[in-house]
Amino acid sequence: MNHAQPKDGIAPPTGIFDTWWPLALSWLLMGIELPALSAVVSRQSDPEIMLAAFGGVVFPIALLIESPVIMMLAASTAVSRDLNRFRRLQRFNMRLAAVLTVVHALLALTPLFDLIVVPLLDVPEELRGPCVLGLTIMIPWTWAIADRRFCQGALIRVGHREKIAQGTVLRLASTLAAGLIAAWLGGSGIVIATAGLSTGVIIEAVFARWFAQKLVLPALHNAGPSKQSAPPSLLMFYIPLALTPMLVLAAQPLASAGISRMPEALACLAVWGPAGGAVFLSRSSGIAFNEVVIARCEDRGAIERLRRFAWGWGCVWTLLLLALAATPLADVWFGPIIGLAPDLVEIGRSALWLAVPIPLLTFLQSYWQGLLVHAHRTRAVTGSVAISLAVITAVMGIGLMADYWNGLVVAMAAFTAGNIAQTWWMRLQWQKTTRAGHQIPAASLSAPEPI
């Protein structure tokens, strides 16, 4: 594919859909990863224990540890405008990844697991062994995620979004291949899931690094020093961005801790992964929209077009999740596809409909978050997630006190309420930003271009 040479390290203009679909495809493929692994694990020995260990403990903890590097893609997209800024952010990213990898290793390989994770999540004794093994296998996860997302952000900045989707296809294929090989070798369900995830993400990181060296460095070298203003401090710019996914993903172990203390704990922990996978699959393309807003909000007529795009595609994905939740498709998803036992299928089906608004809310969050990041108002983004986490905690607390509903139903209701609060707060903060005088460059307010 031929690409026009970026000017000032910025990708040449394309339509919003053209910018979005490779990123959406990448996130959609990542959304397939967890349900696919759950489907393999559910067909091995001790499926309820292994699914509960993976989806209820190992995966939420691994996500929480790597959460500070998740926004590195958005940061790299916004900052990597010349070679000097690219190198500075890369050094910052590697130091952060090293610290987080050490934290992960300490939790997996030392008594800290028993001192912190077991009491925090109230881990049942039968899950302890699989959880420690799974966390150990996933030690490389954080470093690979950090390097991959940094390189992907830079690839987006210089106009090579298609490499993101290509890398994700490679990752999904590698994940499934590694998982199937582990199953063929007789590995337990936790080994299958975690070995698959670690292998896939490492291979995708190598792919992203290779193309960053090949495509990003020459483009930024030729572009010369950027004339765009840089954040006054990388640390002050990135800390609120890092806190944002940390707070988001803190809700995962929080939910697991609540579920494990409510009725039908082990069954709900086993279904938590497949149910969360269905919700993530439906909202994944909305998460991708954040980078689109950051990259495109300076285009002519972009603000209104991006807003319409968020509402339109958000409604599409919400309707698709509604169709899954309100029809026999839910039985097909949890039964033949994921391979859960009939009693677990019923638990999943009864909770899924509570998450129906989340895809639309995700698109709207990405819209306002992208505008706020563009305005360097990253603290406003962090505040929105803090409010979401507070609402989730409150709803989970109500569920614990009531001791009536099963934990999965309470968790789904809590996550939907939290997303509503987060979306409202982001909208409010963007309105305050515009009233304070921040303006997207005038070119974006001109006559709109076709989407």
Q: What's the confidence (pLDDT) of residue 135?
A: 96
CA angle 152, 299, 363 (to 5 degrees): 60
From CA 7, how far away is CA 222, in angstroms rounded?
9
List CB contacts of 79: < 8 A, sequence separation 6 or more: 85, 86, 89, 230, 231, 234, 237
Q: What's the pTM value of the predicted model, to 2 decimals?
A: 0.75
From CA 192, how far away is CA 130, in angstroms rounded?
11
Q: Where are the domains of the chain?
A: 16-436
**Per-residue pLDDT tens digits of the chain, which is 451 residues long:** 444 444 444 444 457 888 888 778 877 877 888 888 888 888 888 888 999 899 888 988 998 899 888 888 878 887 777 788 888 888 989 999 999 999 999 999 999 999 999 998 888 889 999 999 999 999 999 999 999 999 998 898 888 878 888 898 899 999 999 999 999 999 999 999 999 999 999 999 999 999 999 998 888 877 655 555 545 566 667 777 677 777 777 787 888 889 988 988 889 988 988 898 899 889 989 988 987 898 788 777 788 999 999 999 999 999 999 999 999 999 999 999 988 889 899 999 989 999 999 999 999 999 998 898 887 787 888 888 889 999 999 999 999 998 888 999 999 999 999 999 999 999 999 998 887 766 555 443 333 333 3
Place of tokens 């709109």: 448
Alpha helices, DSSP H only, in 185-297?
189-211, 217-223, 234-259, 265-296
From CA 308, how far away is CA 226, in angstroms rounded?
31
From CA 313, how far away is CA 20, in angstroms rounded?
11
What stretch of H or E contains 3? none
